Amino acid sequence: MPICSAETTRLSVVETGDRMLIWCEGGPSLGRAVHFPPPFEIAVDGGMYVLVDDGPPASWHYLFIGDADLAT
């Protein structure tokens, strides 16, 4: 089932299997190329990216959590 989001005057549809570029907050990456639906967690050197999927898919991003914060 497609997910639709209206942004200003354009409509974007994301379907299962579509590629997405999701920006990253913190950590070693600026963005991650993933397939829809994106993974909730991605392990990387030094920590993990966790998907923040509040709002439409165009606003989703990954938040980096360092190893030190994961251990607590």
- Residue listed under structure tokens 């909730």: 40
> How many angstroms separate the CA atoms of 61 and 54, rounded?
9
Calculate ∠ Cα 5-43-64, nearest 5°.
Answer: 60
> How many angstroms separate the CA atoms of 4 and 9, rounded?
13
Give the pLDDT band of residue 9 (cuts 50, 70, 90): very low
Please report the sign of the dihedral spanned by the C-alpha atoms of residue 65, residue 51, residue 9, residue 12.
Answer: positive
Per domain, the residue ranges of the chain are 3-70
Provide the 3-class DSSP secondary structure of residue 25. Answer: strand
- pLDDT tens digits along 36-67: 999 999 999 999 999 999 999 999 999 999 99
pTM score, two decimals? 0.81
